Structure 1
Amino acid sequence: MKFATVRSDNRTLWGVIEDSALADLSALYPSLRDAVEADFAGVDEALADAPRIAFGAFSYLPVIPNPDKIICVGLNYENHRKETGRKEVAQPTIFSRFANSQLGHDEAIVMPKVSSDLDYEGELAIVIGKPGRYITREDAMSHIAGYACYNDGSLRDYQWHTHQFTPGKNFPATGAFGPYMMTPDELGPLAELTLSTRLNGEVMQQAQFKDMIFDLPDLIVYCSEFTELVPGDVIVTGTPGGVGAKRTPPLWMKPGDVVEIEIERLGTLRNTIIAE
Structure 2
Amino acid sequence: MKLVSYRLKDHNDPLRIGFVLENKVVDLQEAYLQMLSKQRRNEDLDGSIPTSPNDFYKTGNAVITKGIEAYTYVQNNPNDVSYLLREEVYLSTPIPNPSKIICVGRNYVEHAAEMKSDIPDYPVLFAKFSNALIGPEDEINKTPATDKLDYEVELTVVIGKEASNVPKEDAFDFIAGYTIGNDITARDLQKRTPQWLQGKTLDRSTPIGPWVVTADEIEDPGSLVIKSYVNGEERQSSNTEKFIFDIPYLIAFISNLITLNPGDIIMTGTPDGVAFGMESPKFLQAGDLVTLEIEKIGRMENRVGDS
Q: TM-score scaled by structure 1?
A: 0.95
By how many angstroms is 1:50 displaced?
A: 5.0
- What is aligned with 2:67? 43
Map Cα deviations across residues 168-195 of structure 1 (whole Å, 9 max, x no partner).
1111111110000001221232333210
Closer/same/farther in 2, CA of residues 26 and 99 from structure 1, 3 Å limit? farther
Map Cα deviations across residues 109-151 of structure 1 (whole Å, 9 max, x no partner).
0110221211000100000001111110011111111000110
Give the number of equivalent residue pairs: 276
Cα RMSD for the two superposed structures: 1.5
Question: Which of 77, 92, 102 in structure 1 is aligned with 2:108?
Answer: 77
Residue 31 of structure 2 is aligned to residue 29 of structure 1:
no
User: Which residues of structure 1 form unaligned runs of 5+?
Assistant: none
Question: Which of 15, 20, 31 in structure 1 is aligned with 2:18?
Answer: 15
SS for the counterpart of 1:96 is strand
* Structure-to-structure mapping, 1:98-247, within 5 angstroms: 98-247=129-278
d(CA) in 2 for partners of 1:7, 1:101: 20
d(CA) in 1 for partners of 2:94, 2:236: 23
Overall identity of the aligned pairs, in %: 34
d(CA) in 2 for partners of 1:20, 1:53: 9
By how many angstroms is 1:89 displaced?
A: 2.1
Higher relative contact order (CA 8 A, sep 6+): 1
Residue 2 of structure 2 is aligned to residue 2 of structure 1:
yes
Bigger shift: 26-35 or 260-269? 26-35
Q: TM-score scaled by structure 2?
A: 0.86
By how many angstroms is 1:213 displaced?
A: 0.3
d(CA) in 2 for partners of 1:178, 1:34: 18
Does structure 1 retain, via aligned residues, the 8 Å contact 2:5–2:53? yes
Bigger shift: 46-55 or 76-85? 46-55
Closer/same/farther in 2, CA of residues 68 and 51 from structure 1, 3 Å limit? farther
Closer/same/farther in 2, CA of residues 248 and 31 from structure 1, 3 Å limit? same
Residue 127 of structure 2 is aligned to residue 96 of structure 1:
yes
By how many angstroms is 1:43 displaced?
A: 2.2
SS for the counterpart of 1:116 is coil
By how many angstroms is 1:84 displaced?
A: 1.2
Indicate the structure with greater strand content. 1
d(CA) in 2 for partners of 1:185, 1:41: 10
User: Which residues of structure 2 form unaligned runs of 5+?
Assistant: 31-48, 75-79
d(CA) in 2 for partners of 1:168, 1:44: 38
Task: Give, as a single letter, the amino acid of the residue that structure 1 aligns with 2:212.
Answer: M
d(CA) in 2 for partners of 1:160, 1:31: 38
Task: Give, as a single letter, the amino acid of the residue that structure 2 aligns with 1:42.
Answer: K
Closer/same/farther in 2, CA of residues 78 and 178 from structure 1, 3 Å limit? same
d(CA) in 2 for partners of 1:130, 1:50: 29
* Structure-to-structure mapping, 1:258-273, within 5 angstroms: 258-273=289-304
